Amino acid sequence: MDFKFSTEEETFQNDVNGFLKKELPSDWTGETAYASSDDGWNFNLKMKKKLAEKGWLTLGWPKEYGGMEASIMSQVLFNEQMAYNRAPGIDIWGIKMLAPTLMVHGTEEQKQRFLPPVANGEVQWCQGYSEPGSGSDLASLQTRAEVDGDEYVVNGTKIWTSNGHRADWIILLARTDTDAPKHRGITMLLVDMKTPGISVNPIVNMAGMHEFNQVFFDNVRVPKRNLVGEENRGWYVGATLLDFERSGVQYSAEARRTIDDLVGFIKDNPSSNFDLSGREHLRNRLADMAIETEVSRMISYNIGFMQSQGFVPNKEASICKSFSTEMEQRVAETGMHILGLYGQLTSDSKWAPLRVRIERTFLRHHSATLASGTSEIQRNIIATRGLGLPRA
Amino acid sequence: MDLGFDEVQMLLKNSAREVLEQECPITLVRAMEEDERGFTSELWQNMAELGWLGLSIPEQYGGQGMSFFDLAILLEETGRFLVPGPFFSTVVLSSSILTEYGTESQKSEILPKIANGDLIATVAITEPSATYESNGIQLTATKDGSNYVLNGTKLFVNDAQIADIILVVAKTDDKGDESNGFTVFIVDKNTSGMTITPLDTIASDKQAEIVFESVSISEENVLGEVGKGWDIAKRVIDLGSSAKCIEMLGGADRVLEMTVEYVKDRTQFGRPIGSFQAIQHHCANMATDVEGCRYVAYHAVWRISEGLEAQKEISIAKAWVSDAYRRVCAIGHQSHGAIGFTKEYDLQLYTRRAKAQELAFGDSSYHREIVAQQLGI
């Protein structure tokens, strides 16, 4: 074993850090819910263009698609730095979902048409998978796509669509065969959000942020050339195991930043309400969070290492996801405990510690254990696919 | 970054597993719990012949000259098979610090004997104060001509009953501190004035009390420098706590494996209990804890092995692994139901040792405190 990064990787890490220092405002505390406000969104778009110019949006893409073909560990480091700095600018649906899927399953025409705008940071994608009646049991989805000539006609609704109100395109899973077993009647379509018949309703989350939406499809006509892979194989197209970084390193990076913020704040305010002397339980708790964060980071590095060796992390990715998101919640709760009464303040003022960052994190992280596969689903995967336990 | 083992390391790991499957069956583990000495000469000699006892001893002293990291790979397997005997005391702790701090004559006298299985050694740090802090050391060594006279009590000393030499941390300066007040002595088992009394312990391991009454030790048997002994004691704690993490990882991994095997096999309500989500999530939590242990433990050992500053990583690892292994055993018991609670079933062998390993070289509270200090809070 060798836990060191290579010289190139370290140089790259410094480049990313230097870039972020230059491009992020000096008082930047990070606003991860950037889709919620126009200012936040515009800054996201600006960052996206700058990252595109650096070629970093397509860090992990193969050269033939204009990517940098950077090593998996470089991608891990990039994602770690971005997350630690809470930097916007990455359209994960375009870069990490659509693009790899098209590289494997897309037609030449689709690749030519859809990949360059993603690489250049000119387009925003969103994901149309979950439905009001289909959450963890995604394959039960009911949105219909029926063939009519050269087109599909889509009817139904998608929910929890992050950035749906900002997106230009949606990656849609719809049912094309109602008689087939549920996994075998689903098709993946790429749909222009400006198509007539699409309407987007905002859903405001408990942190007061507008990030996700419900999207309605009323006789929406989608040309057949926007079908990805084969009809009725959409479930498998969507589940393609892709050779892109999936270390989950952003979780520990985010948590590490929160801990560093808290530690800095405590040190900057000696003999105040936030001093931990005499509050051993909170001091211990914060130390525990630092310990867990390091555990999570090591699990992520190992996933990156496995991928760099050509192994497909499966159990490991689910372990990382469930452990790390639950950890992030514990970190936020610990921060709230340390801040006491001050932790409840919700707008930036002279009274609000850390510019309400902890309160934001505490509320927002309620969704961390739900999004992209709940903790319970992750544990099912660890137990059945990872440990070989029989399915219920 | 490379988180895999190289070819030589894989060979070591695989051969260790093969050998221990043959030579260290659970029946031997159980028998050695009842045995006064706690090990068999056959297994010890076998380990010597395999080169394990001299694994990290330099070649000129009869060892293999491999690294502390390589030694850790072996420890994952000894932890898995609950290998009884003084391997940890003799090889991981004593041979390491003798190599590092011994004089030429001490090294050429002692190390070859450790490597060929002729000498058992241990380290005595803890006392009735039951702490790994330096202020817990009350045993004194008073200069008397060219000798030192030791008085006091050491407690929780592993393998003291069978050790040929005991490396004793003593206070040599009443007013001294960690930088100048402590000295380590190499004490022969036959020195007069020592009384060794075995302790009955949760892990049925072989710990003892040693009372020193005017035990006279020649100054030739000082290890390292007079007054600089706490550096050595600290080194023992660092090596011991990080190496324990790897041993515990081996045990935890086996407990997970046993539990998964059991829940696949055990049928209730007409189906294997492993098909119930409640049990599946128990197992997923165990797998998460084991995965978490692996890389923080190896990270700490790697940093030590590379000669890098490692205090934070050691304490992160020992705090985490101590708690995680205990959780793994607890969920293992819950998943096994009543059968796991019996002496006859093997699970308890791990659970009892997990507690002893958790306590050794600082439990999670001790190491969490160090992490807090490292954070500066």
Same domain, A78 and A132: no
In this complex, the residue of A2, A380, A386 whose CB is nearest that of residue B277 is: A380
- For position A347, what pLDDT does the model report? 87
List the beta bridge partners of residue A213: A202
Q: Between A and B, how many residue pairs show a Cβ–Cβ distance under 8 A?
A: 145
Q: For chain B, give the percent of residues with pLDDT over 90.
A: 100
Assigned superfamily of B123-227: Butyryl-CoA Dehydrogenase, subunit A, domain 2 (2.40.110.10)
Chain B residues inside the 8 Å CB shell of A3: 1, 3, 299, 302-303
User: Is residue A23 in some structural domain?
Assistant: yes
Say yes or no: A190 and A304 in one domain: no
What φ, ψ does residue B108 adopt, rounded to 5°? -70, -20
**A253 and A233 within one domain:** no
pLDDT in tens, B27-85: 999 999 999 999 999 999 999 999 999 999 999 999 999 999 999 999 999 999 999 99
Compute the nearest-CA separation of B59 from chain A (Å): 23
Mark yes or no for CB contact B291/A301 under 8 Å.
no
The domain segmentation of chain B, as residue ranges, is: 7-120, 123-227, 231-375
Instruction: Give the total number of structural domains in chain A.
Output: 3
User: To the nearest whole angstrom, how far is the Cα of A382 from the nearest Cα of chain B?
Assistant: 5
Sorted by sequence, the CB contacts under 8 Å of residue B117 that are 6+ apart come out as: B44, B45, B47, B48, B49, B53
CATH T-level topology, domain B7-120:
Butyryl-Coa Dehydrogenase, subunit A; domain 1 (1.10.540)
Of A238, A267, A286, the position where a domain reaches its end is A238
Looking at residue A133, the DSSP 8-state letter turns out to be: T
DSSP lists the bridge partners of residue A221 as: A153
Question: Which residue of A279, A298, A369 to mutate against B (max B Cβ within 10 Å)?
Answer: A298
Q: Among B245, B254, B315, B318, which Cα is nearest to B286's?
A: B254
Q: Which residues of A touch B296 (CB under 8 A)?
A: 294-295, 298
Question: A3–B260: do the CB atoms touch at under 8 Å?
Answer: no
Query: CB of A212 within 8 A of CB of A161?
Result: yes
Judge whether A392 lies within some domain: no
For residues A343 and A317, state if they share a domain.
yes
Contacts of B316 in chain A (CB under 8 A): 290-291, 294-295
Is residue A187 domain-shared with residue A272, that is, in the same domain? no
Placement of tokens 């999004």 in the chain:
A371
- Which class is domain B231-375? mainly alpha
A 234-293 → B contacts, CB under 8 A? 259, 263, 266-267, 276, 283-284, 286-288, 290-292
- Burial of A16 from C-beta contacts in 10 A (0-12 / 13-18 / 19+): buried
Of B275, B295, B313, the CB nearest to A389: B275
pLDDT attached to residue A271: 84
Query: What's the pLDDT score for residue A27?
Result: 84
Does the beta carbon of B308 lie under 8 angstroms from any beta carbon of chain A? no
Q: In this complex, do A301 and B295 lie within 8 Å of one another by their Cβ atoms?
A: yes
Of B69, B264, B368, the CB nearest to A287: B368
Contacts of B375 in chain A (CB under 8 A): 259, 263, 286-287, 290
The pLDDT of residue A243: 61
Contact B264 A389 (CB under 8 A): yes
- Minimal Cα distance from A287: which residue of B? B372
Tell me how far apart the alpha carbons of residues A323 and B292 are, in angstroms, rounded to a whole number.
9
In a domain, A222, yes or no: yes
Q: Name A370's Cβ contacts closer than 8 Å, sequence gap at least 6.
A: none
Residues 67-86 of A with CB under 8 A from B: 73
Question: Which residue out of B3, B363, B373 would a mutagenesis test of the A interface target, given it has the greatest number of A Cβ atoms within 10 Å?
Answer: B3
Could you say which of B263, B371, B377 has the minimum Cβ distance to residue A389? B263
CB contact under 8 Å between B284 and A323, yes or no, is: no
CATH code of A320's domain:
1.20.140.10
Q: A387 and B271: CB-CB below 8 Å? A: no
Query: Quick one: chain B helix, strand, coil %, rounded to 5?
Result: 55, 15, 25
Q: B218: helix, coil or strand?
A: strand
Task: Find which of A275, A291, A381 to mutate to test the B interface (most B CBs within 10 Å of its CB).
Answer: A291
Of A4, A263, A290, which is closest to B1 when you measure between CB atoms? A4
Residue of B107, B109, B90 whose CA lies nearest to B98:
B107
Range of the domain at A48: 7-90
**Contact: B299, A276; criterion CB under 8 Å:** no
Which of A238, A270, A288 lies at the terminal end of a domain, its last residue? A238
Same-domain status, A168 and A265: no
Per-residue pLDDT of chain A (392 residues; tens, 9 = 90+): 999 999 999 999 999 999 999 999 988 888 667 888 999 999 999 999 999 999 999 999 999 998 999 999 999 999 999 999 999 999 999 999 999 999 999 999 999 999 999 999 999 999 999 999 999 999 999 999 999 999 999 999 999 999 999 999 999 999 999 999 999 999 999 999 999 999 999 999 999 999 999 999 999 999 999 999 999 999 999 887 556 788 999 999 999 999 999 999 999 998 888 999 889 999 999 999 999 999 999 999 999 999 999 998 989 999 999 999 999 999 999 999 999 999 999 988 899 999 899 999 999 999 999 998 999 999 999 999 999 999 87
Residues A54 and A148 in one domain: no
CATH number for A179: 2.40.110.10
For B91-131, write each residue's pLDDT tens digit: 999 999 999 999 999 999 999 999 999 999 999 999 999 99
Tokens 């003084």 locate to B86
Q: B370 with B315: CB under 8 angstroms?
A: yes
Helix (H) / strand (E) element for B110: namely helix B104-115
Q: Closest Cα to residue B3, out of A261, A73, A336, A363? A: A73
Kindly list the distances between the CA atom of residue A378 and the CA atoms of B134, B219, B244, B287, in Å, as whole numbers in the listed order: 45, 61, 30, 12
A391 within domain boundaries: no
User: Across chain A, where does the E strand assignment appear?
Assistant: 125-128, 144-148, 151-159, 169-175, 186-192, 198-204, 210-223, 227-228
For chain B (377 residues), the mean pLDDT of every run of 10, in chain order, is 96 98 98 97 98 98 98 98 98 98 98 98 98 97 98 98 98 96 98 98 97 98 98 98 98 98 97 98 98 98 98 98 98 97 97 98 97 95
Among partner residues B260, B294, B372, which is closest to A284 by beta-carbon distance? B372
Residues A212 and A305 in one domain: no
Q: Is B276 on the interface with A (CB under 8 A)?
A: yes
What is the amino acid identity at position B351? T
Q: Does A29 touch chain B (CB under 8 A)?
A: no
ipTM more than 0.85?
yes
Query: What is the token pair recorded at A301?
Result: 């590095």
Reading the block at residue A112, the tokens are 């030519």
Q: Indicate the residue among A39, A69, A90 that finishes a domain.
A: A90
The CATH number given to whatever domain includes residue A38 is: 1.10.540.10
Output the six-digit token pair for A159.
């929910």
